[in-house]
Amino acid sequence: MKVLVVEDDKELAERIAAALTQDGMIVETVGEGNEAAFLGCTEDYDAAVLDLGLPGQDGVSVLRHWREHGCRMPVLVLTARNRWSDKLASFDAGADDYLTKPFLQEEVALRLRVLKRRALGHSSPILQAGPLSYDSNADRFTLNGELLTLTAQEKRILAYLMQRKGCVVSRSEISEHVYARDLDPDSNTLDVLIGRIRRKLGVTLIQTERGRGFCLTDGNDAV
């Protein structure tokens, strides 16, 4: 899950980024409204954490800009402002959730996962593909009821495939959602990671669509 954190308090932004990174997310931070408005419309993020009090453009203006330019990623407003007028302005501009400071770091991660799940049309936090289950709230995989051990990269890739179950996902799309902007893994790296995931699963769930990418299914189909 790739998240944009928009927060002008550098220390707070770093704490949020560290907590979300520890939770398995890819995080990019920005502390200025104009740059945030640009990034949200040009980069492919799964969700955003947005402060309201920003230099350049305030958070509501940034959010309105995103929505007016077709940016539909889920947005969690995270701010010290708890007035009803601020909440109303945020939701009117297109916010999906609103959390006031102080807050628990774990709650930010949980809310982001819920927003992402709902944006993909999943009502339950448990995603299923044959014998494989993914608890999106806990970010945990089980295979036939047993905990599946994966590296951080493997987990991010498999989580994205689970969220897009039944869809062919290109290599470039996987890279955009599981790697930071300053990393550009080649297709061979992704093939190696997909191969490792397949071996750990021990069942045919991930199909290769030649020239197109990968597709996770319930199994029983040829790769």
CA distances from 75 to 85, 90, 94, 164 (A): 18, 10, 8, 20
Residue 84 has what pLDDT?
A: 94
Residue 187 has pLDDT above 80, yes or no: no
Residue partners of 36: CB distance under 8 A and separation at least 6 = 4, 6, 30, 50, 54, 57, 62
pLDDT tens readout for residues 93-142: 999 999 998 888 889 999 999 998 888 887 788 999 999 999 988 889 99
Domain containing 203 equals 126-216
CA distances from 67 to 15, 70, 152, 167, 207 (A): 27, 5, 32, 25, 35
CA nearest to 21, candidates 32, 5, 45: 5
Are 102 and 162 in a shared domain? no
Mean pLDDT of 75-103: 94
User: 57 lies in a domain?
Assistant: yes
Are 12 and 107 in a shared domain? yes
Last residue of some domain: 104, 119, 134?
A: 119
User: 56 lies in a domain?
Assistant: yes
Are 130 and 195 in a shared domain? yes
Are 14 and 113 in a shared domain? yes
**How far is residue 38's CA from residue 217's CA, in Å, rounded to a whole number?**
36
Are 34 and 130 in a shared domain? no
User: 193 lies in a domain?
Assistant: yes
Last residue of some domain: 81, 101, 119?
A: 119
Q: Supply the pTM of this predicted model.
A: 0.76
